[in-house]
């Protein structure tokens, strides 16, 4: 699904040049759950933004389903992003003036879905994520865990091929954080491709592969030893 070769990102000002990414290469297969770990400032969030076509690399190659994205127009990247990628953010990024239902519906409006199809998809995903009982509530009326579930529903409603999660439990307590991670594990079991940035080694254990970054480079990869335990937790989950 994703083929990245020698990807670099340089930020320049008049006096300073910062190398955020240095010749990063990584392949991600369809259906993988990859966790990206590393200290603050190591380049992992920059890398995720480039994966999500929210930022552009300075050099290298990034192929999404065999389509080269480096050097393509902003419109082309926007089209790929809208049709194929769902985002889950640490700060939820829900719109306070919209209800849960309206927040989840928004990506479908941007993608030109009919009102009947929007209604069908929003209702289906709210039931799946167990947030339907909060459909008419506003974000400020929800707990942190409920806000993140609404954000997950919004990310999934377009049925994206790739889910990008940036510190999805960063603003949650351990109980709500476990709910969100069990949900991601279940989505992966159903075939979703997930790339997650995290500081938490516990959360990274939910992934099938862990990529470690430092100083803008990938220095090691490993397979998670917690995988079996995660599946057992996902089987017994309760999102109430």
What CATH number is attached to the domain comprising 223?
3.40.50.300
Residue 184 sits in which domain range? Answer: 31-40+79-235
Cα–Cα nearest to 198, from 31, 9, 34:
34
Q: Domain tally for the chain?
A: 1
Q: Is residue 12 situated within a structural domain? A: no
Nearest to 59 by CA among 50, 219, 49: 50
pLDDT single digits (tens) 62-91: 999 999 999 999 999 999 999 999 999 989
Average pLDDT value for residue range 181-204: 93
Average pLDDT, the chain: 91
d(CA 109, CA 86): 15
On whether residue 52 sits in a domain, the answer given is no
- Asked whether residue 153 is domain-assigned, the answer is yes
| CA 169 from centroid of its chain's CA atoms | 12
67 in any annotated domain: no
* 103 lies in some domain: yes
Segment 25-69, tens digit of pLDDT: 999 999 999 999 999 999 999 999 999 999 999 999 999 999 999
Look at residue 225 in the predicted model and tell me its pLDDT: 60
Residue 5 belongs to a domain: no
pLDDT for res 207: 96
13, part of any domain: no
Whole-prediction pTM value?
0.87
Which residues of the chain form beta strands (DSSP E)? 2-12, 17-28, 33-37, 59-64, 67-68, 85-89, 162-166, 193-197, 209-214, 217-223
């Amino acid at each position: 699904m994703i083929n990245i070769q020698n990807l670099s990102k340089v930020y320049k000002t008049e006096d300073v040049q910062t190398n955020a990414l240095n010749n990063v290469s990584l392949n991600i297969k369809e259906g993988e759950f990859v966790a990206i770990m590393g200290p603050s400032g190591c380049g992992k969030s920059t890398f995720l933004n480039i994966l999500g076509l929210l930022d552009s690399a300075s050099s290298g190659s990034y192929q999404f389903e065999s389509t080269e994205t480096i050097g393509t127009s902003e419109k082309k990247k926007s089209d790929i992003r809208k049709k194929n990628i769902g985002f889950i953010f640490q700060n939820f990024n829900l719109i306070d003036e919209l209800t849960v239902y309206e927040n989840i519906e928004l990506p479908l409006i941007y993608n030109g879905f009919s009102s009947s199809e929007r209604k069908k998809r929003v209702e289906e995903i709210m039931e799946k994520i167990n947030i339907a009982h909060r459909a008419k509530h506003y974000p400020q009326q929800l707990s942190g865990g409920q806000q993140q579930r609404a954000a997950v529903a919004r990310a999934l409603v377009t049925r994206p091929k790739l889910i990008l999660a940036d510190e999805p439990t960063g603003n949650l307590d351990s109980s709500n954080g476990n709910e969100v991670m069990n949900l991601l594990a279940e989505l992966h079991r159903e075939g979703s491709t997930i790339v997650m940035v995290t500081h938490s080694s516990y959360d990274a254990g939910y992934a099938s592969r862990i990529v470690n970054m430092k100083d803008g480079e990938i220095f090691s990869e490993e397979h998670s030893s917690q995988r079996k335990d995660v599946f057992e937790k996902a089987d017994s989950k309760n999102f109430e």
